[in-house]
Amino acid sequence: MKQRVIELQRQTTIDKVEIDRLRQKLSVLEERFEREAAERAAAAERAAGPRGLTEESVPAPRVVEVIEVSDLEEPLEDEPAEVVAAEAALEPQPAPAAPDRAPAAGTPAAVTPAAQAVYDQAYSLYHQGRYADAEATFHRFLAAYAETDLGDNARYWIGESRLARNELEAALESFRETVRLHPEGNKAPDALLRVGEVLERLGDLDGARASYLEVRRRFPESPASEEAAGRLERL
């Protein structure tokens, strides 16, 4: 829904700018029409003068000029600078092609509306069951916004997207990367729990047990810790 609202706001701004441009072009054409009509009327009066015709006996010719739609497409000679700037700002920008990168040390960057929109799109694709598209969109998010507070979430959901496609080794790599790059992030407990689950599915019970114990040790108050305790009992 948020993505739809952002798109509607953007389209409304584009429409407003386009309407302003057409109004300005129409104003120029109207001025041209009035000027040419006045010149033709003056020419007609001069032509009637030598024959002794008066303004009362010969009415001024009525000139009707048809404005073609194509005339509205002619560029103005002096486009207002603010209109040009607004149109340029509304042009869609390509997503950065930089590779995924680790977050910089220190406080994560704020999540901008643009970053949130990309993240929400990826998250929505995941819950629609479009796991490959979700993973690709989360990668696009990380390429541009890895240093924001949603960087660990994006990496975690890449792992979930792979796990949903039963790509266990690839999922394990993503979950481990989430824990390694964001050891204190909000997704670290869940990612570490998922490491144990994937290792359990791969048959590495010792590794799974170690991961569950690590969840219990590092995040004892988390819901992931409670689930890890249950899994330890079943091993």
Structure confidence at residue 120 as a pLDDT band (50, 70, 90): very high
Query: Across residues 163-182, what is the average pLDDT?
Result: 98
How far is Cα 77 from Cα 16, in angstroms, rounded to an integer? 21
Per-residue pLDDT tens over the stretch 6-49:
455 555 555 554 566 556 656 656 776 677 777 777 776 666 65
Band of pLDDT at residue 4, cut at 50, 70 and 90: low
Q: For residue 168, what are the CA distances in angstroms to 23, 158, 160?
A: 59, 12, 10
pLDDT at 81: 47
Q: What is the mean pLDDT of residues 204-223?
A: 97
Cβ distance 152 to 186 under 8 Å?
Answer: yes
Closest alpha carbon to 198 in 164, 233, 151: 164
**CA 140/CA 137 separation, integer angstroms:** 5
How much is the pLDDT for 89? 39
What confidence score (pLDDT) does residue 221 get?
A: 95
Cα(28)–Cα(155) distance, integer angstroms? 55
Burial class of residue 128 in the structure, from the number of CB atoms within 10 Å of its CB (0-12 exposed, 13-18 middle, 19+ buried): exposed
pLDDT at 127: 97
Q: Residue 70's pLDDT is what? A: 39
CA distance 119 to 139: 10
Q: Distance (Å, rounded) from C-alpha 131 to C-alpha 114?
A: 22
Mean pLDDT, residues 119-125: 97
Q: CA torsion sign, 80 to 81 to 87 to 90? A: negative
The stretch 46-70 carries a mean pLDDT of 47
Residue-wise pLDDT for 124-164, tens only, equals 999 999 999 999 999 999 999 999 999 999 999 999 999 99
Q: Is the pLDDT of residue 99 over 80?
A: no
Binning pLDDT at 50, 70 and 90, where does residue 85 land?
very low
- Residue ranges covered by each domain of the chain: 2-89, 96-167, 187-235
Instruction: State the pLDDT at residue 27.
Output: 65
Phi, psi of 130 (to 5 degrees): -95, 70
pLDDT for residue 119: 97
Computed over every residue of the chain, the mean pLDDT equals: 76
Residues contacting 120, CB < 8 A, separation 6+: 2, 3
